[in-house]
A and B are shown apart, each in its own frame.
Chain A
Amino acid sequence: DADVTQTPRNRITKTGKRIMLECSQTKGHDRMYWYRQDPGLGLRLIYYSFDVKDINKGEISDGYSVSRQAQAKFSLSLESAIPNQTALYFCATSDPGVDTQYFGPGTRLTVL
C-alpha cells in the first residue's frame, strides 16, 4: 500500500462550488504539506502543518483553507472554486531534520 494517499485522484467541478481534497499518510510523520503544480511554475506551497495544532500559510494560501484532523490526515479545501485554481495538487509528508519529502500521487482538479 502507498505511504501517502490522496482522494479523489481526479475532480471536475464548477465555479463557486466548495471542494475538499483529502490526504492520508502511514509514514508516522508529523509534518505535512499541500502544493499545487502548474506548467512552467513548478510546485508552490499552499499550507503546511507541523502537528495537529500547528498550521501555517505557504506562499499561495489565498482562496484555500486546511484542516489537520489527526497526525495522519490533512485536508485542503477550496471554499469557492474559481477557474484559475485548476491545477495538479500534491500532498507530502516530511522526515524532520533532513527535510526529505514523500509525495502522494496527486489530485487533478479542473474548475469550469
Chain B
Amino acid sequence: AQSVTQLDSQVPVFEEAPVELRCNYSSSVSVYLFWYVQYPNQGLQLLLKYLSGSTLVKGINGFEAEFNKSQTSFHLRKPSVHISDTAEYFCAVSDRGNTGKLIFGQGTTLQVKP
C-alpha cells in the first residue's frame, strides 16, 4: 500500500519569491509520482510527473520537482511565483500501471501575495 504526506497545508509567499511545496511518500513497491494543480472552481490538471530516468522533472508554468528515493520525497519548486500560481497543489503516487490508481496527499494551498 502507498501513502502520501504533504507537510504543509498552507504556504503563503510574496510574488516573485521562490517556493517549495513538500511531499513525502511511503510505498513497498516502486511508484510513479505526480503533482497536480487545482485552480479555484476547476478540476485538477497535471503539472508534472516522474516515471523514470532523470530525478529532476520539469513541468508546466515553470515548476519543477526532484525525486529523492533515499528520502522518499518529491518536493515541488518554483524560483519565482506569480499571483496566478495561487491554487491548491496535490502530490500523488501510483503503483506503476498495475491498477492506475492514484493515492493523493491532503493538498497544499499556495497563497501568493502582491
Could you tell me which A residues sit within 8 Å of B by CB distance?
4, 31, 33, 35, 40-45, 48, 56, 58, 90, 92, 94, 96-106
A101 to B105, CA, bound (A): 15
A98-B49, A100-B49 known; A43+B104 contact, CB < 8 A:
yes
Answer whether residue B24 sits at the interface, using C-beta atoms and an 8 A cutoff: no
Q: Which of A44, A99, A103 contacts B44 (CB 8 A)?
A: A103
Answer whether residue B34 sits at the interface, using C-beta atoms and an 8 A cutoff: yes
Q: Which residues of A contact B6 (CB under 8 A)?
A: 42
Residue contact B43 to A90, C-beta cutoff 8 Å: yes
Do most interface residues of chain A lie in helix, strand or loop, or is the interface mixed? Answer: strand
A90-B43, A98-B32, A99-B94 known; A42+B99 contact, CB < 8 A:
no
Residue contact A42 to B106, C-beta cutoff 8 Å: yes
Residue contact A96 to B100, C-beta cutoff 8 Å: yes
B28-52 contact mask (Cβ, 8 Å, vs A): 1 or 0? 0000101010000011111001010
Tell me the minimal C-beta distance from B41 to chain A in angstroms. 8
Residue contact B107 to A94, C-beta cutoff 8 Å: no
A40-B9, A42-B104 known; A97+B97 contact, CB < 8 A:
yes
Q: Taking CB as reference atom, which chain B residue is nearest A4? A: B43
